[in-house]
Structure 1
Amino acid sequence: MALIYLVRHGQAGAGMGAYDDGNVEKSYDGLTERGRRQADVVGRSLAERLGVGSSGTDVRAPRVFCGPLHRQHDTAAAVASAAGAAEPTTDAAWKEFDSDAVVVPWMRRNTETGRRLKQVMQKIRQGAGDPAEAEATVREVLDGALGEWVDSSGFQEFRETVLGGLGRVTTAARQDGAAVVATSAGVIATCTAAVSGLPRQAVPPLVGKVFNASVTVLRVADEAGRHRGGSAGVDLLSFNEYAHLDRPDARGDLTLI
């Protein structure tokens, strides 16, 4: 049985406050200090569960893939280093949807929600905000914007591109027994819905469930058709695993957020 591990990147820069100026990606695309620690934790966890480097085993290191964004590549590099794998292979199919193109226009059409989000994020940056209120407001924005987007031709193109990448990684997983992909929440949600036979409307709520540095596991059908899956011969084994973040990291801190 071959497996694909979809890893969401570690915590990235706080770009939500930039939605109103159309410059989200520039401010968001970079791991925070905590995000780098999360990437190290998930890398060590995957190496352990795959048995890479264990005495008395001849397990090959998995091939590691990632999208072209800095937060994706840096997470993949940490995973590859922990697993003794080669440098990650970059494939543009694993790039996240462009928030500047998907979310910012929605914000400009929904000015009251945009104003509330800006105020909430300003308070958070000043250390006086309510994290629960900020999370709820961000969720409102994403639900609204992504709910419109999944009915557009842009989403259909995005989905086809993602599934093309999934097909290539499926081939690699069959060859090596496992493959790891460092990507983003929108991509993972799109893969999860596709291989589970869920409608496109399931993607926005799934996006909101994908934790930083979480792991989603897909099972790949072998050449004889055993474990026959859905899209691209793949089915879902687990979604949004994050137990590895409950354990103290090298500094003795928990990195689950």
Structure 2
Amino acid sequence: MTTIYLVRHGQASFGAESYDKLSPNGELQARILGRFFQKILKDEPVVIAGSMQRHQQTAHLAMNECFPDTQVLTNNAWNEFNHQQVFAQYEPRFEQPELLKQEVAKEKSPRAYLAKIFEGAIERWTGGDYHHEYDESWPHFKNRVETAMQNLCDELAKTQPRYAVVFTSGGVISVAVGKILELSINRTFALNWSIANTSMTTLRLVGNQPQLLSLNEHHFIKEVQPDLLTWI
């Protein structure tokens, strides 16, 4: 029976001109994850990563700690939605990521403020009236992720490896879990906001259908360096 680990990338560069790059914290998170995999994975896994830089960096840093010769297969179906465009369409001045970072930094509760902006931006993106304004609409993103998940399950059901690890993003993981649990859009994106960097969401494959075993495991980060735990 195959176990699938959906891994969110390490901390990226929030507010930078290019978000799509791991921060020093993100690099360390990925290495800690890899050392944890070394303890729990008894066989070499099938490894897949989205094509974004943060996915690739996390995958290679983590696997170098446990199975350094493992091939990382790239599949852009596991890429995140364009969150910077989603923010910018909600509030045009946030087209410059550094302005969003500056505003968040001024708040007494930065995480709560960013959560409020995120909620509004996601509501606009998923609401149905503005799909034409986005490079990738919510229905297209949802269908892309659900198709990627089912294609993976179909392939793993044929080859039956013991483990598969997918390096991706919080939005992708939320949609995959939302599909399994039949969650509403609001509940799906409530999950997205809670998924920690380099956390693992674990699925068990029964036939060619995934069952949720665990969500957002990040205890291995807490055990090593609690202040390294991040969500942004």
Measured against the shorter chain, the TM-score band is: 0.7 to 0.9
Q: What is the identity, as a one-letter code, of the residue corresponding to 1:147?
A: E
1:189 to 158, 174, 179: 174
Structure 2 counterpart of 1:11 = 11
Cα shift at 1:172? 4.5
Bigger radius of gyration among the two: 1
Cα distance in 1 between the residues matched to 2:83 and 2:12: 14
Structure 2 counterpart of 1:104 = 88
Q: What is the identity, as a one-letter code, of the residue corresponding to 1:78?
A: L
Seen in structure 2, the aligned counterparts of structure 1 residues 41 and 118 have a Cα distance that, compared at 3 Å, is: closer
Cα distance in 1 between the residues matched to 2:56 and 2:100: 29
Cα distance in 1 between the residues matched to 2:110 and 2:186: 24
Cα shift at 1:90? 0.8
Q: Is it true that 1:90 corresponds to 2:74 in the alignment?
A: yes
Structure 2 counterpart of 1:2 = 2
1:77 to 55, 60, 78: 60
Structure 2 counterpart of 1:54 = none
Q: Is it true that 1:236 corresponds to 2:219 in the alignment?
A: no
Cα shift at 1:27? 2.1
Cα distance in 2 between the residues matched to 1:209 and 1:109: 26
Structure 1 counterpart of 2:122 = 146
The answer to which structure, 1 or 2, has the higher relative contact order (CA under 8 A, 6+ apart) is 2
Cα distance in 1 between the residues matched to 2:116 and 2:205: 35
Cα distance in 2 between the residues matched to 1:13 and 1:6: 21
TM-score, structure 1 normalization: 0.77
Cα distance in 1 between the residues matched to 2:36 and 2:53: 22
Structure 1 counterpart of 2:145 = 162
CA RMSD of aligned residues (A): 2.4
| 8 Å Cα contact 1:39-1:75 kept in structure 2 | yes
Structure 1 counterpart of 2:27 = 36
Cα shift at 1:199? 2.0
Structure 2 counterpart of 1:180 = 165
Cα distance in 2 between the residues matched to 1:200 and 1:47: 35
Q: Percent identity?
A: 30
**Unmatched segments (≥5 aa) in structure 2:** 132-136
Structure 2 counterpart of 1:256 = 229
| Residues 133-159 of structure 1, C-alpha deviations (whole Å, 9 max, x = no match) | 211111111111112222345111111
Seen in structure 2, the aligned counterparts of structure 1 residues 97 and 245 have a Cα distance that, compared at 3 Å, is: same
Structure 1 counterpart of 2:134 = none
Cα shift at 1:192? 0.8
3-state SS of 2:213 partner: strand
Seen in structure 2, the aligned counterparts of structure 1 residues 49 and 185 have a Cα distance that, compared at 3 Å, is: same
Cα shift at 1:83? 3.1
